[in-house]
Amino acid sequence: MAVSDIVSKQVYSTYEHKLEKEVLEGPIPKHLGIIMDGNRRYAHEYLESNIDEGHRLGEKKIENVMDWCLELGIKYVTLYAFSSENFKREADEVSFLMDLAESSFYEMADNPKIHNNRVAIRALGGLSALPEYVRKAIDYAYEKTKDYSDFTISICLAYGGRQEIVNAVKEISQKVQNGLISPDQITEDLISSHLYTWDMPDPDLILRTSGEVRVSNFLLWQLAYSELYFTDVYWPGFRRIDLLRAIRSYQQRGRRFGN
């Protein structure tokens, strides 16, 4: 390793340690939502357009970020992995992503760190649209961790925020039709209780990688008062220092919730 590389690494480490100390002295978001974007662009720029390898590195990044969030004490992490619109991609790419999802759920469910930290693993979205073998892996992870509540990691698959709200409206409408509730009883809390995230607080911070500045149909109801943070780092290249910067930005904002 060149002397310049050693010096650069030491400077980076010192800065990261200082930033971490600063972050830990402030409020840590209870619920972090992440739009994991940029696998394909990372592949085009750094992997000679090997899209599969870009997705593979993106999947491995999930474990890194999970470790960082556990260290920082973030109780809920919701990851946007595959949208309902992503089914429109090339069949080979979709198949590869489904295979990655399957292996990821099995690996997380058997990871000692998950059990040592009592992490519940969940999948959110239109799961019936997923291949049976992926749903089987999701069930495996859920059963292995369903009794845990210290931390929750949710992976959004075949997910769309608008469809989530539509589904909630349908369920509530059916209850009105069946005489279980009256229209006057429909409140924000009632709608929230029919969403995929019914047993979680709304996200405090939504983070998106890759430089895109939009939420792309992610947690549309839940992010009403979330702080939004966008970074131009591609997801496979996302670093711990990038997470710390996002949290520091969150801490520097005044959250008034409309007051």
Catalytic residues: 37, 86
Tokens (6 digits) for 123: 């999948």
> In the chain, count of helices (H) and strands (E)?
9, 6
CB 159 within 8 A of CB 78: no
Report d(CA 77, CA 34) in Å as an integer: 8
Instruction: Give me the DSSP letters along 30-71.
Output: SEEEEE---HHHHHHHHSTT-HHHHHHHHHHHHHHHHHHHHH
Residue given tokens 């595959």 in the structure block: 82
Non-local CB neighbours of 214 within 8 Å, separated by 6+ positions: 208
Report d(CA 232, CA 230) in Å as an integer: 7
Report d(CA 187, CA 218) in Å as an integer: 22
